[in-house]
């Protein structure tokens, strides 16, 4: 199965309207209702968001100005005082939701736990008090490196409660990657677990923390709080490491939520860009709370009885916005699953759907393609009739996978919401509303109300229907990233300088290529920069190149991605070796492993190709375009006249 091509997309004419029964019960139940909201929001965005902020959230103190926009720096709800942990927990305790399931958790080995809002609140307060005892004060950054267990969400909410911005690092990242992120964030405390279960193995998390902190490599870190999960032997460093299960019983469950300024930093989340160093995307409190709340509510048409399951990991933005903050702010029941579909248990996801009567299921195209490969017998032998809405995120979905999802999982009745957004945007930007928007397989359809998205050329001019261009957003929205942590300059030149302001209006450059069809539907094609999308995970080519050249045998490396049947894209590396090193299969395996230990398993190159030289321009720049063609086994496209040495290409083609 391949990625969507321009041709296949232009040929895609199928339209799937929500059923009348679905629309009737939906909060936003017709295209006209959506259009009305959209118009209203576009005419006066500030008034639109202010009304929702007032209606949907609890504030300790109201704002006195909705938006302060000094491009490219936005502030929302100026002088408003709010706490997202309060909005996710405390405010539900005075209602019947007090004893409603907030988190339903299923562990990979089959253990499970349900936490009501009252129980979750209690544990969050206890962890917040433990963090205070460990010396964390408002403004201190806390690293979180956890498996998918309730304590991951508890840790995030505990940090938010006391105003300590968290920086969650995906548990699949290596010790090296963790170290770089902890260093940049200058974290004071790290919350981790002994390990986690993934694909029938134990992921050794605490040992990776030890390795990252070895020889005082991250001097800011004073304490490590360890949750017991797998019970394997680990080392506890005295004076630094403490066990959660030893401290929790004596921790007070009384911890009032700290009134935060609307613009106080809520978290940093590192994401890949075009340089070797990941960027710390900064999100703040009020606008992020509002936007994740409203998008979650409308896009998933949340009902009190829903069992909502987002299969992402809390280490990514999807886990932040749509496992923890969005659903809990709405008082919904959010399901967390520790495991991944695996050969030993190919039906595990469908078992979870059946066991808990999941009603909303949100996953990534790469997972859908993996399910297709595992065979229809697995979903077909489970009762999936509880499902009412399906969602996808992370990469373009190929129409075949969409149709399979619609038929085999959705019984041809569940609307599919294909949500386009980014770590930087905080929440959904392009998405159908399930009771309102007719869907087209492969299209993220229309912008969310309040989002002024467009497709433009490099001068900022809108392009004609069905013409390719750059996806941009015109007006600030509440959950947009505020800056790159400690690096305003990088924020400015990554997102605001590729395309100049048009008619005085600043354009947020998303880094994606896209087109809009004659109905105004958006079709996202993928990244236009040196960012790859491996199984829906963002990875910079430069990050992998830096990892490769840090190996003593490597002189130079150029990394591209090539299409992959299940992962969407796969890492393909071209490597030239230092003088005395000879190419061999052993060295190939060693280099792949080296990348895994520098970054993590998601970055493991599918293929490494040794070469004597790389194709370069006369000014010495590697011409990746040709390498991408070579990796995909395609004809070379583009101008070769700028090349320094034409024989390089011939050699690569022969090899």
The contact set with ligand WTA (CB under 6 A) reads 271, 316-318, 393-396, 418-423, 444, 510-512, 524, 526-527, 533, 538
Q: Which is nearer to ligand WTA, 337 or 402 (CB)?
A: 402
DSSP state for residue 533 in the 8-state scheme: E
SS (H, E, C) 422-440: CCCCCCCCECCCCCCCCEC
Q: Which H or E run contains 68?
A: strand 65-70
Q: Nearest distance from residue 326's CB to ligand WTA, in Å?
A: 12
Interatomic CA distance for residues 625 and 652, integer angstroms? 14
Are 114 and 170 in contact by the 8 Å Cβ rule? The answer is no
Nearest residue to ligand WTA, using CB? 423
Q: Nearest distance from residue 121's CB to ligand WTA, in Å?
A: 28
Q: Which is nearer to ligand WTA, 317 or 560 (CB)?
A: 317
Q: Nearest distance from residue 401's CB to ligand WTA, in Å?
A: 12
Q: Which is nearer to ligand WTA, 395 or 543 (CB)?
A: 395
Q: Which is nearer to ligand WTA, 63 or 361 (CB)?
A: 361
Q: Torsion over CA of 430, 432, 436 and 442, rounded to 10 degrees?
A: 130
Interatomic CA distance for residues 88 and 157, integer angstroms? 8
Contacts of 37 (CB under 8 A, 6+ apart): 28, 449
Q: Nearest distance from residue 572's CB to ligand WTA, in Å?
A: 18
CA neighbor of 334 nearest in space, from 368, 383, 366, 300: 300
How far separated are the first and last CA of the chain, in Å rounded? 26
Q: Nearest distance from residue 75's CB to ligand WTA, in Å?
A: 23
CA neighbor of 478 nearest in space, from 260, 269, 297, 263: 263
Neighbours of 546 (CB within 10 A): 18
Contacts of 489 (CB under 8 A, 6+ apart): none
Q: Nearest distance from residue 416's CB to ligand WTA, in Å?
A: 11
Interatomic CA distance for residues 307 and 103, integer angstroms? 10
Q: Which is nearer to ligand WTA, 86 or 485 (CB)?
A: 485
Q: Which is nearer to ligand WTA, 107 or 326 (CB)?
A: 326
Interatomic CA distance for residues 507 and 459, integer angstroms? 11
Interatomic CA distance for residues 480 and 453, integer angstroms? 13
Q: Any idea how long the chain is? A: 655
Q: Nearest distance from residue 533's CB to ligand WTA, in Å?
A: 6
Which tokens in the block code for residue 561? 């991605």
Interatomic CA distance for residues 217 and 364, integer angstroms? 36
Q: Nearest distance from residue 588's CB to ligand WTA, in Å?
A: 29
Interatomic CA distance for residues 395 and 537, integer angstroms? 9
Q: Which is nearer to ligand WTA, 424 or 545 (CB)?
A: 424
CA neighbor of 281 nearest in space, from 423, 155, 71, 166: 423
Contacts of 448 (CB under 8 A, 6+ apart): 295, 298, 299, 427, 428, 429, 430, 431
Q: Which is nearer to ligand WTA, 80 or 526 (CB)?
A: 526
Q: Which H or E run contains 210?
A: helix 205-213
CA 391 from centre of chain: 14
Q: Which is nearer to ligand WTA, 97 or 527 (CB)?
A: 527
Q: Nearest distance from residue 317's CB to ligand WTA, in Å?
A: 5
Q: Which is nearer to ligand WTA, 537 or 594 (CB)?
A: 537
Q: Nearest distance from residue 322's CB to ligand WTA, in Å?
A: 9
Q: Nearest distance from residue 68's CB to ligand WTA, in Å?
A: 26
Q: Which is nearer to ligand WTA, 53 or 525 (CB)?
A: 525
Q: Which is nearer to ligand WTA, 422 or 439 (CB)?
A: 422
CA neighbor of 307 nearest in space, from 406, 418, 386: 386
Are 378 and 371 in contact by the 8 Å Cβ rule? The answer is yes
Contacts of 497 (CB under 8 A, 6+ apart): none
Q: Nearest distance from residue 431's CB to ligand WTA, in Å?
A: 8
């Amino acid at each position: 199965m391949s990625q969507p091509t321009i041709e296949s997309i232009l040929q895609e004419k199928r339209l799937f309207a929500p059923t009348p029964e679905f629309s009737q019960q939906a909060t936003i139940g017709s295209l006209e209702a959506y259009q009305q909201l959209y118009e209203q929001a576009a005419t006066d965005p500030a008034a639109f968001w202010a009304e929702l902020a007032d209606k949907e959230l609890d504030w300790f103190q109201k704002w006195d100005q909705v938006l302060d926009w000094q491009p490219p720096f936005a502030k929302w709800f100026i002088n408003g005082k709010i706490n997202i942990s309060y909005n996710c927990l405390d405010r539900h305790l005075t209602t019947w939701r007090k004893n409603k399931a907030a988190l339903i958790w299923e562990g990979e080995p089959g253990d499970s736990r349900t936490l009501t809002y009252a129980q979750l609140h209690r544990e969050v307060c206890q962890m917040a008090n433990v963090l205070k005892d460990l010396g964390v004060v408002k403004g201190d950054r806390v690293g979180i490196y956890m498996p998918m267990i309730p304590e991951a969400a508890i840790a995030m909410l505990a940090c938010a409660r006391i105003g300590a911005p968290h920086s969650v690092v995906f548990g699949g990242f290596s010790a090296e990657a963790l170290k770089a992120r902890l260093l940049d964030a200058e974290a004071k405390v790290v919350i981790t677990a002994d390990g986690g279960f993934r694909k029938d193995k134990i992921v050794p998390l605490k040992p990776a923390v030890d390795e990252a902190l070895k020889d005082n490599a991250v001097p800011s870190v004073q304490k490590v709080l360890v949750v017991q999960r797998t019970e394997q032997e680990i080392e506890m460093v005295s004076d630094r490491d403490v066990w959660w299960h030893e401290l929790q019983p004596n921790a007070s469950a009384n911890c009032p939520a700290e009134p935060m300024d609307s613009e106080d930093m809520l978290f940093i989340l590192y994401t890949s860009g075009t340089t070797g160093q990941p960027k710390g995307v900064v999100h703040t409190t009020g606008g992020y709370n509002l936007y994740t709340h409203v998008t979650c509510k409308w896009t998933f048409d949340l009902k009190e009885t829903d069992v909502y399951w987002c299969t992402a990991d809390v280490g990514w933005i999807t886990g932040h916005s749509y496992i923890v903050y969005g659903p809990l702010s709405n008082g919904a029941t959010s399901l967390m699953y520790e495991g991944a579909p695996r050969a030993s248990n190919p039906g595990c996801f469908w078992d979870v759907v059946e066991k808990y009567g999941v009603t909303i299921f949100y996953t990534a195209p790469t997972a859908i393609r993996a399910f297709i490969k595992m065979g229809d017998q697995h979903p077909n032998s489970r009762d999936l009739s509880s499902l009412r809405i399906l969602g996808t995120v992370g990469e373009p979905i190929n129409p075949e996978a969409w149709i399979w999802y619609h038929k085999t999982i959705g019984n041809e009745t569940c609307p599919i919401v294909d949500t386009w957004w980014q770590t930087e945007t905080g929440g959904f930007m392009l998405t159908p509303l399930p009771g309102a928007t007719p869907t087209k397989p492969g299209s993220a359809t229309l912008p969310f109300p309040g989002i002024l998205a467009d497709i433009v050329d490099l001068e900022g001019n809108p392009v004609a229907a069905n013409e390719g261009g750059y996806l941009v957003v015109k007006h600030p929205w509440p959950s947009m990233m505020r800056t790159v942590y400690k690096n305003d300059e990088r924020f400015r030149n990554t997102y605001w300088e590729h395309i100049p302001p048009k008619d005085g209006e600043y354009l947020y450059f998303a880094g994606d290529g896209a087109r809009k069809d004659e109905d105004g539907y958006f079709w996202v094609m993928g990244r236009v920069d040196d960012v790859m999308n491996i199984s829906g995970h963002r990875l910079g080519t430069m990050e992998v190149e830096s990892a490769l050249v840090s190996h003593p045998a490597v002189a130079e490396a150029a990394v591209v991605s090539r299409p992959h049947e299940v992962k969407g894209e796969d890492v393909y590396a071209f490597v030239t070796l230092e003088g005395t090193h000879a190419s061999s299969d052993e060295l190939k395996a060693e280099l792949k492993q080296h990348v895994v230990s520098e970054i993590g398993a998601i970055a493991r190159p599918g293929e490494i190709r040794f070469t004597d030289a790389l194709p370069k321009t006369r000014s010495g720049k590697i011409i990746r375009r040709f390498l991408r063609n070579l990796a995909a086994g395609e004809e070379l496209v583009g101008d070769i006249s700028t090349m320094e040495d034409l024989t390089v290409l011939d050699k690569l083609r022969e090899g």
